Chains A and B, each alone.
Chain A
Amino acid sequence: MADVAITAAKSLFIVLLVVQVMGLGVFFERKVSALIQDRIGANRAAILGFAGLGLVNTLVADPIKFLLKEDVVPAGTDRVLHFLAPVLSLVPVLVTFAVVPFGDVLQVGGRTINLQAAELNVGILYVLAMVSLGVYGVVLGGWASNNRWSLLGGIRGSAQMISYEIAMGLALVAVVVTYGTLDLQEMARAQGHLLWGWLPAWGILYQPVACLIFMTAGVAESKRIPFDLPEGESELISGYFTEYSGAKHLMFMMSDFVEVVLVAALVATLFFGGWQLPYLLRDGFHLPWGAALALPSSAVALLQVTSFAVKLVFFTWLQIVIRWTLPRFRYDQLMRLGWQGLLPLGLANVVVSALVIVLAGPAA
């Protein structure tokens, strides 16, 4: 019973963390874009004159507006699939966080709790499986809407997501080869030691190419500019979710943003130490020049969770900045980048990583 309660608490914690970061992401989307384009950005909504730099606008007014809008289902739609598509889009992304570790271990009352909602020995394959199921929301939403723009968006979306899943998978193969495990928690722990006594051995040092490929493919999976052809505002209105309004529209928007947070979480975990804070071990800080600071287990866990959350926010912010900096790809450029750029690069990276590990031994 206690085990079930602990797992439930861990699941609730990671979902709440993700939703908080997603909210910040939406805030960045409105205000960072304004900053980049030399505008003021969302500042209309206020509670008793308090606008909170637009936070009231993005975190209070926007969701209420979405939830209160009429839910329009156009004539000629496939009602069942039209209803299911937003669910199929959001649920797979949210459940992916089950295997993302947000801390090392927490000692409570003689128990050692692994700070990861689900310990699967296939960890990273679970991520790929759930990401690949996310395509259905896009495809079915596009098809069930009975609208040409939606259908085109759905077809573009499925082609794009399948193409970039391959590059993403290849980047992950190289990472798996480096760490010798599929479990994300083991990968995060493997990044805890120091190189030459001072440099944290984060994955980016071993797999810079895989990091680049993974990040690119991840941005493409979230279907945002520069990879927003499935939505393509200027040509397809809103692509696969043109015919959605109110809460269902919000669910599609939300799944895009949760995907951004997911990519941030995976990039942080695989390449930037996950919950690792440099020089923080299980019993406290051990600085390279010999100074040490002993800390209780709960303080260490809190610092690790904070470190993970900060990395999550940083990589979410980075993706928002990318989205407002780059122009959109043309469709042929998108496909060429995926199949002729990232795919061969990913394959070469796997071969080189495997060769290095066979010749020089595993990294961790």
Chain B
Amino acid sequence: MSPLLFLLLAALTVASALTVVVHRNPVHSACALVVTLCLLAVFFLGLDAQLVAFLQVIVYAGAIVVLFLFVIMLLNLQVEARAMAGALLVGTATAGGVALAVLVVTALRRAAVPAAANPPAGFGETAALARQLFTVYLLPFELTSILLLVAIVGAVALAKK
């Protein structure tokens, strides 16, 4: 991905992410979230990670945000009530965000950046990723699936209450 394209996409991503937070209309916020997620998928494509990019679109943009929208529409929220957004909350959130940004930037500046190595052949392809996932990272993979199963059982238990 050329630096110019990267900067353009990055600016768009930040703008749409800001829209998610700032916009008063929850449906518009959710739409901006979809745009943000799709732009992130484009970054993954630029990093030769096709599988991750499309999983991102399927799972987040295609399913999770649809459920957000579904709930917003069922509750028929027209414009968000801003009872919570007092000066204290905005101040705290801003301070937290700035602190996080400072933390990340300092950590990245101190970290030794490895020289850009040429990725091996077939890097990011589904077969290569699957081979890694089912050999080297098999245990974390299976543990994650158990975690998801627990979450599903928990959701069913809550729904039955």
Contacts and interface: CB of A to CB of B under 8 A. Distances in A.
A162 B61 CA distance: 12
Nearest to B65: A136
Interface stretch (A26-34, A121-129, A275-283): A121-129
A165 B67 CA distance: 14
Interface string B45-68: 000001100110110011100110
Contact of B58 (A120, A128, A158, A159): A128
Interface of B: 25, 27-28, 31, 34, 50-51, 54-55, 57-58, 61-63, 66-67, 69-70, 73-74, 76, 125-127
Given A136-B34, A139-B70, A122 B27 contact: no
B73 A143 contact: yes
Interface of A: 78, 81, 120-122, 125-126, 128-129, 131-133, 135-136, 139-140, 142-143, 151, 154-155, 158-159, 162, 165, 182
B126 A182 contact: yes
Nearest to B41: A129
Contacts of B70: 139, 155, 158-159
A125 B59 CA distance: 11
Contacts of B31: 81, 136, 140
Contacts of B127: 121
B57 A129 contact: yes
Given A81-B31, A143-B27, A155-B74, A135 B62 contact: yes
Contacts of A182: 126
Interface of B is mostly: helix
B73 A139 contact: yes
User: What 5 pairs across the A-B complex have the smallest Cβ distances?
Assistant: A132-B62, A129-B57, A125-B54, A129-B54, A129-B58
Contact of B73 (A78, A133, A135, A155): A155
B27 A121 contact: no
A120 B54 CA distance: 11
Contact of B62 (A122, A133, A154, A155): A133
B69 A162 contact: no
Contacts of A122: 50-51, 54, 126
A133 B27 CA distance: 16
Nearest to B25: A78
Contact of A129 (B28, B62, B74, B125): B62
A81 B58 contact: no
A142 to B, nearest CB: 8
A155 B55 CA distance: 24
Q: Which of B27, B50, B58, B70 has the most CB of A within 10 A?
A: B58
Nearest to A169: B58
Contacts of A120: 50
Contact of B27 (A81, A131, A158): A81
A274 to B, nearest CB: 20
6 contacts: A78-B25, A120-B50, A125-B51, A125-B58, A135-B66, A139-B70
